[in-house]
Amino acid sequence: DAGVIQSPRHEVTEMGQEVTLRCKPISGHNSLFWYRQTMMRGLELLIYFNNNVPIDDSGMPEDRFSAKMPNASFSTLKIQPSEPRDSAVYFCASSKGAPSTQYFGPGTRLLVL
């Protein structure tokens, strides 16, 4: 299996621009998680889906962030408009069943100038 796939791996953009991060979970996994990691705040859960349905989005920082999972094999995290404080590494992870072991993608390193 290819593992969790994320794209792009690196993104540099200017403040105010829209950023879209993409994730393909492992085939057969029914839960998908978006995390953000910074030195200051550590690993933060932004949102997670179960069977394509958002279960908990309480970690989404503000209305500038949105996430979708149109089908079991694809999810997006969008930031619009982006701000310098959004600079971080964004991870996608997927899991199946219980107990849940999460499989992480390689991450997208985002820099907002």
Provide the binding-site residues for another protein, judged by CB under 8 A: 4, 31, 33, 42-43, 45, 48, 50, 55-56, 91, 93, 95, 98-107
Which runs of E-coded beta strand occur in the chain?
5-7, 10-13, 19-24, 31-38, 42-50, 53-56, 65-71, 74-79, 88-95, 103-104, 108-112
**Helix (H) or strand (E) run with residue 2 in it:** none
Q: Taking the complex as a whole, how short is the minimal distance between the CB of residue 45 and another protein, in angstroms? A: 7
The DSSP symbol for 34 reads: E
Of the two residues 14 and 23, which places its CB atom closer to another protein in the complex?
A: 23
Q: Taking the complex as a whole, how short is the minimal distance between the CB of residue 16 and another protein, in angstroms? A: 28
Distance CA 21, CA 89 (A): 11
Of the candidates 56, 46, 41, the one whose C-alpha atom is nearest the C-alpha of residue 21 is: 46
Of the two residues 78 and 109, which places its CB atom closer to another protein in the complex?
A: 109
Q: Taking the complex as a whole, how short is the minimal distance between the CB of residue 110 and another protein, in angstroms? A: 14
Q: Taking the complex as a whole, how short is the minimal distance between the CB of residue 88 and another protein, in angstroms? A: 13
Of the two residues 81 and 102, which places its CB atom closer to another protein in the complex?
A: 102
Of the two residues 14 and 56, which places its CB atom closer to another protein in the complex?
A: 56
Residue with tokens 């999460």: 102
